[in-house]
Amino acid sequence: MGGFRDILRILPARERRGDAAQRQHAEPAPTAPDGGVPLAEALLTLIEMLSNAIEGEAAYPRRPELRERFKAIEDAARLLRHEWLDQRIRALLLDGDVRIENENEMFHGLRDIAARAARERERNSPKQGRGKLYPKASWPTPMELCALMVAVAHCHLLGRWPGKSNVKVQQCCEALWQAAGGPRRAGWGEPGSVAVWRHHLKAAQKYRPPHQAGIRIQLILAPDIRRRPVRVTGSPSRSLYDHPSWRALIKKEGGRKKTK
């Protein structure tokens, strides 16, 4: 759990922004700015979510296996269509019944499945190597998901989206990745190695709310928040949701002067 403690240390805590009375009555675990779930509890949920994504990525089939499976699906669908047209096989399967349920839909559906399997097999050509083939639907990779979690938490706590060159945010991504059991990579632990998260923080921006991936993370941090997206301009410091506590937090943070 060392990486988890690092996350709590690096992420800005609410009590640092509260007055003396608030700090006196604050709970040991930092809480979300809207008084929702404690930050520690939310981070444990995010760690579990990221860990499941990492395990799912490791178990995801590679291209050679997918090509074989698509070929098997295509052949099976074509075989079923062919056999169903054989009146002897059809009579035995019906066994006295007039027809089977959804017979026409099934017959045409098998043709559609065979065509889709053939199309994906062509898209997954051997020339593309042994990598992985993913659906066209946009969803973050595990490292992009990790960066997205940190960025959404940063925005949730401070009211602004972090820059991809923010070293503390990069360190937080590294800590979260280690806490979730992410695989080690080249340069792990070496000075400056956290800069690899710059690329993933940049890629994570396209999954920020109102994308479903960003919304899912946001609702873990604040389950009762009203999902009312506002128009996001070119300024990355704009809050993504028109929530009263967020507006107050942004106003409070914006009025502070940095001291050396």
Range 250-254, long-range pairs (CB < 8 A, 24+ positions) = 250/159, 250/160, 252/17, 253/17, 253/158, 253/159, 253/160
Give the integer Cα–Cα distance in Å for 122 and 66: 11
* DSSP category for residue 31: B
Residues in a beta bridge with 31 = 38
| Amino acid (1-letter code) at residue 23 | R
Q: What is the pTM of this model?
A: 0.62
Return the pLDDT at 230: 38
In the block, tokens 């401070």 appear at 158
Q: What pLDDT score does 144 carry?
A: 94
pLDDT of residue 203: 94
Rounded to a whole number of angstroms, the distance between the first and last alpha carbons of the chain is 33
166, with CB counted inside 10 A (0-12, 13-18, 19+), is middle
At 98 the pLDDT is 83
* Low-confidence spans in the chain with pLDDT less than 70: 1-37, 127-131, 137, 185-189, 191-192, 224-260
Sign of the alpha-carbon torsion through 218, 221, 58, 7: positive
The pLDDT assigned to 183 comes to 85
Name, in order, each residue with C-beta under 8 angstroms of 67's C-beta and a sequence gap of 6 or more: 121, 124, 126
3-state secondary structure of 229: strand
The pLDDT value recorded for residue 41 is: 84
pLDDT at position 129 is 60
Residue 60 is predicted with a pLDDT of 86
